[in-house]
Every structure is written in structure tokens, then in C-alpha cells.
Chains A and B, each alone.
Chain A
Amino acid sequence: MAVNTAGGGKLGMGSRIILFNEVILVSVLLFICVLISVGSPKFFSSTNVLNVLRDSSMDVIAAIGMTMLLITGEVDLSIGSLVAFVGVITMDVINKTHSVALGVLAGLGLGLLTGFINGVVRTKLKVNSLIGTIAMMMVLRGGVYIYRVAAVQNYHSLDAFFQIGNGYVGFLPIPILIMAVLYVAFLFLVTRTVVGRRLYASGGNATAARISGINVDRLKIATFMTASLLAAVAGVILVSRMNSGQPNSGQGFEISVVAGVILGGTGLGGGEGTLIGTLIGVFILKVINNGIILLGWNQDLQIVIAGAVLIVAVYLDNKRKAARARIITT
């Protein structure tokens, strides 16, 4: 049957271009990579590629959870402090029990607990998640110092512990493998399953979601727990790479993760965002940092450029959305 739209016009073509947000991002990433490799031939060496991917793995893993949270309209700024606490607890438990498995479980458990509390604070106490997770960030950071003011050293040098952050499967570093597995799994979850659909609904219009029978509160708590759990995984990888639990680690982690997610096109309002965009967004920021060192530029430029890129990206995104809004005629 003939299809028509408001105003009798054809609404099809204009909107197609807008959907190519991810294409634009990939082009930007490729462009930056090419620029850097011109100045530094080492950029595309296998060492560097693996290094950047390995360094990105922690950000990407945490960004998966952060994306899901932002899709539901929430955020978690406590992940930096959580990473520090997870590192300290994991190292301490391994030291005390000689068991890597127990240490990792303890660390991940802390992640789940933190996420649960964040979720309850948001849904039952109705505290805005920005404020609530900033509070959690302070509690965790203060808490880790009370727990242990000095770094927790590695007493037993267990090989399994070393492998997590530094080992390889064939030529592939294990952190990259963990990142890939988690990414694919969650990509499937978010794009193809009922849970994923419900995330978008809860963030897009919580009332509409409730009316459709979705238990929005329970879903948000589960999402908070997932985000913290994933951040804890990043924390476990980090403690293995550093070979010690550092209470002062993870500073600024939440900002760089959120920046990557936003750069990838996920808005702060909820109801939109893609994991593909997130992946590219995180990579763009990491590649910029890597490039600055390889090219020998002033290291302070890392934050300056990241900030500039972010502002430009959000500005362009707003223009895109405004253009879209003008098409609507009621």
C-alpha cells in the first residue's frame, strides 16, 4: 500500500545520512591513524598496535557498562575509585589466600556490591545517579586509603595472576581477548535481545516502559551492577599489569571512559547510543594519546586535544539533532 508521511512529503532520504554517525567516526579514526603514522612509522608496528589495544582494553570493557547505563539515562562516576579498590582487594586476598581465583572473585564481588548500592540509591532513594555515584566515588576513594594507605605488593608472584594482564594466547594479549569476548557478548545482548530493547525503552521513556510491563527499577539496578562488574574486570586487569594494588590508581578513569562513550555518539539523555560508536570513540581518544607520545609532542596536549575533540564532537552531534528536529512538522 502506498506509504505517506506527515505533510505528504517523502521523509525517507534525509534521515538516512544521519544514521551514518558510525561511518563518520570510523573515518575520523582512520584519518587520525594515518596522520600519526606519517609522523611516526612505529605507529602501525605490531608492538604498538597490540600495546594500544591492550591499553584500550580496560577502557573498552568499562565503557561497555557505561554505555548501557547511559542508554538507560544513568551514569556511574565511581568506576575510577572502584578500580583502585578492586586492585587493592584482589592483591590482598591473593596474598592472604595464595589463590588467584579467590582474589579475582573478591574483586569482582566488590564490583557487584558497589553496583547494587548505586542502583538502590538511584531507584529506591531516588538520588540522581550523577550525584549518587560521585558520592560513591568519594566513599570508595576514602575507603581504599583507610583500608590500605600504601600499595599492596605482590607477595607470591603466582603465574595465573601475571597472565591476566600480561599473558598471551598465541600472539594475542589476554586483556585484548577478554575485551573482545565481553564486547561481542554484550553487543549481542544490547542489539538483539529483549533485555537490550528494554534498556532503550527505559532510558527513552521510563513511563512508557513501565506501562509496557517493564520493571524499570530492577532493570536499572541490574545495569548498575553490570557496569560496576565490568569496571571491576578492568580493575583486575590493571592490578595484574601493575603487579601491585595501588590505592591511588584509576584517577580520571571515569572521565576518560565517559568521554569515549559520548564521543561515540551516546547522549546523556538516555534512550540512545550504540556499542559500536563507543568502541570507536574510545579508540579515537586512546590513539590520540598514543600518537602524542610517539610524535614527541608535549604530553600536556593529551588532555587538551581530548577535550577539544569532545567539544567538537558534541557540537556536531547537537547540530545533527537540531537538523533532524526541524524536519518534524506537526
Chain B
Amino acid sequence: MSERKIILEVRNIAKEFPGVRALGGVDLSVLGGEVHALVGENGAGKSTLIKILAGVYQKDSGEILFEGELIELHSAHDSLRRGIKVVFQELALIKGLSVAENVFLESFPLRRNRTIDWKTMIASTREILDSIGLDLDPMEQVGRLTVSQQQMVEIARALSHEAKVVIMDEPTSALTPNEISLLFDVIRKLKGMGIGILYVSHKLEEVFELCDRATVFRDGLRISTRAIAETDQKEIVTDMVGREITTLFPRTHTGRGEKVLDVRGLSTAEKLKGVSLEVHSGEVVGVFGLLGAGRTELAKAIFGLDGVTSGAITVRGARLRPGSTTHSAHAGLGLLTEDRKGEGLVLQMSVGQNMTLPSLREFSTAGYIRRGAESMRAQSFVQQLSIKTPSLKHKVEYLSGGNQQKVLLARWLMKKLSVIILDEPTRGIDVGAKVEIHRLIDELAKGGLAVIVMTSEMPELLGVSDRILVMSNGRITGEIGRAEATQEKILAAAIA
């Protein structure tokens, strides 16, 4: 490979927020034509660095060098003008405008009379899209595009500004496998153009597939920078977590007991079409499906958050009243929603209060909450699950994603449940916390619960499930046992 030049370099960047040291003096360099991965647990400092490079945050100290020259990035405009383009997870596009307008936002080609030169703009847009092999209509409204296509528009925007460095923040979380391939192709084309790419991701399989080097951050510091060819996932994970992780998917539970949950012909007005399934005590049923297959709808319908048009749900023989969450909760159902902040946590309440919310009766006499008993119980779970929080009284919104998820799990562990439905339990959570959650799922099953895990991560699905159900278009299209399960079989059922 020819000698690559350093395009972007940061030295000793530090950044502090009130009470938190986000970055403690980190170095990083991105070469032209390389894909450089940036990995680390939640809270490691990755997004802080990205935001500094995007001009959104101001560094407290340190230097930024672009093509060897010392620069200051005072605003997002500065950053883009310099040639650094950041593609955030929440895409920064104007949905009401067309592709061409978004690509040339802030730098429209103008005619002599200062009006927009549409012809040139459309032609240039088409040129850029062609260069990365995309077939999009420059006049299409961005709001109508899929997430994948919108991402491409962001990349095209980078090219229109002749970006030399493109930073991508968790780009694949909302993409289908096909779309991920497409993205990788485009990234490789950018590589070919000599553009340096900084690729921030949790997904180590992708990192190992796509990237040339990987830098690991932990607790605001740079731990290592390795060439991908010279390392393996285990080493990277150890760098990220600071300790060796032996098994990603611990399993100690065995055998299944009696049938606990029985769902017959469940349909909802919009999505579900006659779903039937059963779960036994002590078993973990994994549910897989692509975006829009209906997994979350199924979880909510079983629990009673959404209304059903037909079907029966029975828990330990007792018929559940559809659409009544109180009834479900009393029958021993628990639900960990996909959207923890929007639907799971009460952000204004403390860690302890969130944990005990369904179990208040246990700690109260005639309505009066016995705070001592409540704290003791909550504290025991904090220890059991290694939840990182300064105290039980801490507002739960300040915790990292992984710890928030643990709080929610503690909530259900505290109750005597019969069935628990976990919807994307490890989404957005770093490797270290992931392992602990998988261990907990194992504990839950061992304790006799019927566990349903909905997930879109194949490794996780294959790792935790005793039995796999595949959904597509609101129906169950496949049931595969652990022993026979392969990625191909699962995907085949998922697109059926």
C-alpha cells in the first residue's frame, strides 16, 4: 500500500463538563485513504471528541492539525469548510428539501443575479452520486428517502464540500444487512478517493470487516491504536473493558418446565396477523425480524400496551384481559421496552425509585412507603447487577445507557414475575455491560421465568436463545431450535 499521509491529527485534547472529565488528553490521527475505527464503551469519550471535531463543542486544551496545519474549529461551519464532515446518528438533513438542496446547503451554486443555479446544482449532485455509485433522484424530497439513502445524502454532502475526512457515528444501527453492504461499498469508494474515514461503532464484526486501524478509548483516554490485521476481537474488547471477557453469552440454565405463556392468533389493527407462540418456564425464546416485522408490536400487544383485534393470551392458564396493562402486571408479566428513555424510565425519578416502581406494595404499609426497606432492596440489586451510580438517589437520567438498562432489569428482577419480554435489551450498550445483561438473562431463565428476547443482533440471538422465532410482516414465519440455527436459515425466514 502506498504511503498514506496524515490528514487529521489531534493531540492531547481534553474536555471537561461540570463534574465530569469527558476527555483527558487524547491523541488520534486519521490517514488519507484509511478507515480508522474508534471504539469504546458508552461514556468513553467518543462522541465528545466527534463533537469537538464537528465544531459543536470547544476543546478545553490540545491541538487540532489538518494536513499539518494548526486549526481552530469554532463552529460547525468552520469544520465543514475545512473539510471535516461528520455524519451523526441523528442525520442532520432538512427533510423538507430535496437531495440536491441538502447536498449543497450553505454553498449553493449561484447565477450572476444571486439566484440559485438549479441546473448546475442538479448536475453536480448527479455527478457526486454517480461517483459513489448511487442512483438517487437529485430532486427527490429527502424526507421520503429511507434512512440508508439519507445517510448517502450526507456522504454526498461531504463530497460536495470536498471533505478530506468523513466521520461516521454509529452508522449501521438502523440499516438492513443489504444497506450495510451498500454503505461499506461507498466507504470503500471514498477510501479510493483518498478520503480519511473515522468510523465510530460498537459493532466489532463490522470494524473487523471494514477498517484498517482501530483506536480504543476508555474513560476519556486513549488506550491503544492497533492495525486490524495484527489484532483480534478479544484484544480490542479487553482494551475497551479493561479486563478479559471470557464468554459473551454465558449459559447455565438447562431444561424447560411447564408452559407459562400461551398466545393464540394475536392480531392487531395495524401490524400483527394471527401470531401464536408459547413459552415455557426456564426457557429463553429469541425473536428475530427485520425492521418493520412487528417484534415490538408483538411485545406491546402481549403486555397490553396496545389494543388487539383478536386472539387470546393466557398466563399459567389464566386468560389475560387484552389491552389492560394493570391486568398484565398483576398476572406476572414484565416488559423491557425498546425505547428505554421514552417508555421505560421515569427520567425525573431516582435510580432507586425507578427500580421499585412496580413493587411498591411490597415496601408499604397501608400506603405508606417504608423507605428503609425500599432502599435496602434496591441497594441489593445495585450490587448484584454492578450498577454504576453514585447513590440510589441519583437521577436515573444521568446514568449511561448500559446502567440504565440494568436499572430496568433490576426493576423486573425485584418482582416475582412469570414472563418477561425484553425488547432489544442491549441496544446501544457497550460490550462490558452487554455481557452482564446476557448473564442476567441466563439467571432469569434459571430462576424459572419464561423469557422472550427480541433482538436484531444476530450474534446475540444465536447466543442467548434456546429457541428462535422469526417474524416477518406481522407473522411468525419460522421456528428454529438452538442446535440447528444458522444465520442463513434465520434470514431466509425473515425475508419470507
Shortest CB-to-CB span from A274 to chain B, Å, is 12
Minimum distance in angstroms from B258 CB to a CB of chain A:
24
**Cα of A154 to Cα of B329 in the assembled complex, Å:** 53
Please classify how large the interface on chain B is, using the bins under 10, 10 to 19, 20 to 34, 35 or more: 35 or more
Among candidates A12, A212, A215, A271, residue contacting B348 with C-beta atoms closer than 8 Å: A271
Closest CB-CB distance, B135 to chain A, in whole Å? Answer: 35
User: Contacts A5-B399, A211-B305; is A329 near B368 (CB within 8 Å)?
Assistant: no
Instruction: Provide the residues of chain B in CB contact with A209, threshold 8 Å.
Output: 346, 357
Check if A35 is an interface residue, CB within 8 A of chain B. no
Bitwise, A1-33 to B at CB < 8 A (1) or not (0) is 101111111111111000000000000000000
Question: Shortest CB–CB separation between residue A285 and chain B, in angstroms?
Answer: 25
B45 within 8 A of A: yes
| Residues of B close to A12: CB separation below 8 A | 19, 390
Whether A7 contacts B43 by the Cβ 8 Å rule is yes
- Any B CB within 8 A of the CB of A51: no
Inter-subunit contact B358/A272 (CB<8 Å): no
Inter-subunit contact B45/A205 (CB<8 Å): no
The answer to whether B346 and A6 touch across the interface, beta carbons within 8 angstroms, is no
Complex-state Cα separation, A214 to B329, whole angstroms:
9
Closest Cβ of chain A to B324, distance in Å, is 9
For the complex, give the distance between the alpha carbons of A211 and B354 in Å.
12
Query: B358 to chain A: which residues have CB within 8 Å?
Result: 211-213
List A contacts of B276 (CB < 8 A).
Answer: none
Beta-carbon contact of B390 and A7 below 8 Å: no
Q: Which residues of B contact A200 (CB under 8 A)?
A: 346, 348-349, 353
Dominant secondary structure at the A interface: helix
Interface 1/0s, chain A 186-222, versus B by CB < 8 A?
0000001111011011001101111111110000000
Does B42 have its Cβ within 8 Å of any Cβ on chain A?
yes
Asked if A197 contacts B337 (CB within 8 A), the reply is no
> Using Cβ atoms and an 8 Å threshold, which residues of chain A touch B325?
210-211, 213, 215
Nearest CB in chain B to that of A267: its residue: B348
Whether the pair B305, A192 counts as a contact (CB closer than 8 A) is no
The chain B residue with its CB closest to the CB of A9 is B20
Q: Assuming A13-B19, A197-B353, is B348 touching A7 (CB within 8 A)?
A: no
B98: min CB distance to chain A, Å: 32
- A interface residues, Cβ below 8 angstroms from B: 1, 3-15, 192-195, 197-198, 200-201, 204-205, 207-215, 271-272, 323, 326-330
Q: What would 11 A/B residue contacts be, using CB atoms closer than 8 Å?
A: A3-B388, A6-B388, A9-B19, A11-B394, A207-B337, A209-B357, A213-B328, A326-B18, A329-B43, A330-B400, A330-B401
Which 6 residue pairs across A and B have the least CB separation, nearest first? A213-B329, A9-B20, A204-B346, A8-B219, A212-B358, A6-B43
